[in-house]
């Protein structure tokens, strides 16, 4: 058994509206991951693979595992799809990590893949909707923007959060995305433009919501021994925490706390022996701006109820004391559902190896990734360190 597991390589496709086939998108991410390993890596070293995908795109809805493995030139390797709504590749990372720790393999691939733009808008709504509660919420007309709008309304009621706080989150994430050559939206957006955009579902405006994105991501994991032979700059997985919650929001005790985030975050930080106050960088699941506010609080990165003012204060900016979503987040980098979790780890990998280019945060020694499925029914958190 290997006691430690490291990321030794990471890749992602450019996120956006991509005309390429899913096969090509995944191969693009995998090639970068392979090329990013410092020395002596051969794709044949991959012994097992876990592929995260919600399955959108009207293409390979079953058996996506072998489909992706084949696209990476890995036909033959044991592979499965891991599906946990938008937390799919975050859980794929967890399962690959556990498999290496079990001793079953010492080099593993984690992938994420989603092709959303091939579907009609109605089909997109359906596929997204089935990640929430069907019986009492979706069938009654509640969509994901609606769910998060309810959370935002309640947060405003309980804690005095304002729309301007949410504007600060959107502005910051777009400013970061502007520096990320893989992001779907590589441009800054002014506060005025954000606050004058149309309501999607009050209080959430267009710029409070993530987009429809095609994209793929790939991570190469290795046991400690293999990692040391492949690179001088392994990025260690210091902790992995996961939890679930009830699918239906109406059955939860609170609208302003995602209990799965609280539980997963605590476990990952416990394993990493890190208090939340010592987290230096975080990629959190900002499918909506209010989701970033909730994540900051539920992960303990700021006190409960203070996520709005904390964001407004600039603390989470790239030059703030606790940079959050330096990649641009789901908001600006894009959110190809099942590819997002591994793409968050890609950002941690780049930042901790000081390879993040113009969005590099100096000197970070650790990073946390937070990946949510549905409206909080699944959550997985990882902590990485140099």
Give me the active site residues, please: 86, 335
Number of residues that bind a second copy (CB under 8 A): 59
The answer to whether 330 and 285 are in contact (CB under 8 A) is yes
66 binds a second copy (CB under 8 A): yes
Burial of 197 (0-12, 13-18, 19+ CB in 10 A): middle
Candidates 24, 35, 75, 225; binder of a second copy (CB under 8 A) is 75
Give yes or no for a cis peptide into 226 (omega within 30° of 0). Answer: no
The answer to whether 249 and 150 are in contact (CB under 8 A) is yes
d(CA 216, CA 342): 9
Candidates 201, 242, 291, 293; binder of a second copy (CB under 8 A) is 242
Candidates 45, 46, 64, 324; binder of a second copy (CB under 8 A) is 64
Residue closer to a second copy (CB basis): 53 or 153: 53
374 binds a second copy (CB under 8 A): yes
Q: Select the span of 67-75, 177-185, 302-310, 348-356 touching a second copy (CB under 8 A).
A: 67-75
Beta bridge partners of 236: 6, 385
Strand order in the sheet with 366-373: 48-52, 107-115, 214-223, 5-12, 235-244, 378-385, 366-373, 282-283
d(CA 385, CA 365): 6
Total Cβ atoms within 10 A of residue 119: 17
Residue closer to a second copy (CB basis): 128 or 209: 128
* 107-115 and 48-52 beta bridge pairing: parallel
81 binds a second copy (CB under 8 A): yes
279 binds a second copy (CB under 8 A): no
Residue span 243-262 as binding mask against a second copy, x where in contact by CB under 8 A, dash where not: xxxxx-----------xx--
Near a second copy in 18-57, by CB under 8 A = 48, 54-55
Near a second copy in 98-157, by CB under 8 A = 98-99, 101-104, 127-128, 130-132, 134
The answer to whether 57 and 347 are in contact (CB under 8 A) is no
Kindly list the residues in this chain that would bind a second copy in the complex (CB under 8 A): 1, 48, 54-55, 59-67, 69-70, 74-85, 88, 91, 94-95, 98-99, 101-104, 127-128, 130-132, 134, 240, 242-247, 259-260, 263-264, 373-374, 377-378, 380
């Amino acid at each position: 058994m290997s006691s430690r597991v490291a990321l030794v390589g990471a890749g992602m496709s450019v996120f956006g509206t991509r005309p390429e086939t899913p096969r090509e998108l995944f191969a693009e991410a995998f090639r970068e991951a392979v090329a990013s390993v410092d020395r002596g890596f051969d794709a044949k070293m991959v012994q097992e693979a876990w592929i995260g995908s919600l399955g959108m795109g009207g293409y390979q809805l079953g058996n996506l595992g072998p489909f992706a493995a084949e696209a990476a030139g890995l036909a033959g390797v044991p592979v499965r799809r891991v599906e946990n709504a938008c937390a799919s590749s975050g859980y794929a990372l967890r399962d690959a990590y556990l498999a290496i720790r079990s001793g079953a393999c010492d080099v593993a691939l984690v992938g994420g893949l989603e092709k959303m733009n091939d579907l009609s808008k109605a089909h997109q709504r359906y596929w997204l909707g089935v990640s929430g509660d069907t019986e009492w919420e979706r069938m009654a007309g509640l969509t994901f923007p609606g769910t998060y709008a309810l959370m935002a309304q309640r947060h405003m009621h309980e804690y005095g959060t304002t729309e301007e706080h949410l504007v600060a989150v959107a502005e910051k994430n777009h400013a970061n995305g502007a520096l990320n050559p893989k992001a779907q939206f590589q441009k800054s957006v002014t506060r005025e433009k954000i606050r004058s955009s149309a309501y999607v579902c009050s209080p959430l405006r267009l710029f409070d919501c993530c987009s429809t994105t095609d994209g793929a991501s790939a991570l190469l994991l290795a046991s400690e021994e293999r990692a040391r032979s492949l690179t001088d700059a392994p990025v260690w997985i210091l902790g992995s925490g996961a939890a679930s919650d009830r699918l239906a929001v109406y059955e939860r005790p609170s609208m302003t706390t995602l209990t799965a985030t609280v539980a997963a975050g605590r476990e990952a930080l416990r394993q990493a022996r890190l208090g939340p106050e010592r987290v230096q960088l975080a990629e959190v699941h900002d499918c909506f701006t209010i989701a970033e506010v909730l994540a900051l609080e539920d992960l303990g990165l700021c006190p409960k109820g203070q996520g709005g003012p904390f964001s407004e204060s600039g603390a989470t900016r790239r030059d703030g004391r606790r940079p959050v979503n330096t990649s641009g987040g789901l908001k600006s980098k894009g959110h190809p559902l099942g590819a997002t979790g591994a793409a968050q780890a890609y950002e941690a990998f780049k930042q901790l190896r000081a390879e993040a280019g113009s969005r590099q945060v100096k000197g970070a020694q650790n990073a946390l990734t937070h990946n949510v499925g549905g409206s909080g029914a699944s959550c997985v958190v990882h902590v990485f360190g140099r």
